[in-house]
Amino acid sequence: MVFLRLVMGLSAKRVEVFSQGGDGVLHYQGRLCVPKVDELRQKILPEAHNSRYSIHPGATKMYRDLREVYWWNGMKRDIADFVAKFPNCQQVKVEHQRPGGLPCTRRQHDSIWVIVDRVTKSYRFLAVKTIDSAEDYAKLYINKIVRLHGVPLSIISDRGPQFTSHFWKSFQKGVGETTLIGPDSVHYTMEKVQIIRDRLKTDQSRQKSYAYVIRFGKKEKLSPRYVCPYWILKRIRKVSYELELPADLAAMHPVFHISPLKKCVGDLASVVPLESVAVKDTISYEDIPVEILDR
């Protein structure tokens, strides 16, 4: 009915952006108009996305390529939905979004407070919460810093909300607080932050060492980043979820951090199976020489 009304409008010269060729094909600003037929559009979208000439472009790139030839109402929205639900793109492509944050501890700590002494260059890392108030920070400072090292002569703060409350100002009134930040202090603080990152990477490498042993001799550069999907049973914390794992993964802990997880927006029937890996109870592998070159 829409195309019939457009053709009638063309005959009456009321529609200027549409034109009709000699073969009766309707065009929109020189582009071929695609009717609202799902079968026809589903033939165009896969050809423009996963053919040998397209190589899985993103939604923006795919839309720019198709709009040179085709047009239909809601074309950009349909392309975005098609790319978002395509199974291979969900399993392989990297997710461009903000990280979920640090994992929570048993006491719900999700941040690290870095305190550096300007004289000795010593540092302390205190586990805190993002929802802690200035009074909570002051009490923690007294229990962890003042109790061991005494009251400092001056404190350099970043003038954040944790240090601007009335309680913190009254506590530091007699020690002469300053809010000036020098380049040396910033440099020392960033060095200690880098130490935290290095330690986190070290802890991750300890876990990865077991994974590398399990996958010894197997190249996974082109393996999918995500598998299955799995159903979410419940939300444990802000950045942790419990998944419904199959019987093959019964020995694995079902709670995962949000960083290795991704929302599945495609067809649930498209499942990526896990490959069976034979792992010994000792989590070890046997070295077998391939060739002896010299003795």
Least confident of 25-39, 51-65, 102-116, 258-272: 258-272
Residues 62 and 49 sit within 8 Å (Cβ to Cβ): yes
In one-letter notation, the amino acid at residue 26 is L
State the Cα–Cα distance between residues 140 and 159, nearest whole angstrom: 18
pLDDT at 226 over 80: no
Higher pLDDT, 63 or 168: 63
Tens digit of each residue's pLDDT (9 = 90 or more) over 188-225? 778 888 888 888 887 777 766 665 555 555 555 566 66
Instruction: Return the pLDDT at 286.
Output: 56
2-92: which CATH topology? Answer: Endonuclease III; domain 1 (1.10.340)
pTM over 0.95: no
- Copy the structure tokens of residue 260: 């290795």
* CATH (one of 2.70.180.20, 3.40.50.80, 2.60.40.10, 3.30.420.10) for 111-199: 3.30.420.10
- Copy the structure tokens of residue 40: 């026809």
Give residue limits of the domains in the chain.
Answer: 2-92, 111-199
Tens digit of each residue's pLDDT (9 = 90 or more) over 275-293? 544 445 554 545 565 565 5
Residue 124 parent element (H or E): strand 123-128
Instruction: Return the pLDDT at 180.
Output: 47
111-199 and 2-92 share a CATH fold:
no
Least confident of 132-141, 193-202, 230-239: 132-141
- By DSSP bridging, strand 26-28 and strand 31-33 are antiparallel
Instruction: Return the pLDDT at 277.
Output: 42
Higher pLDDT, 183 or 63: 63
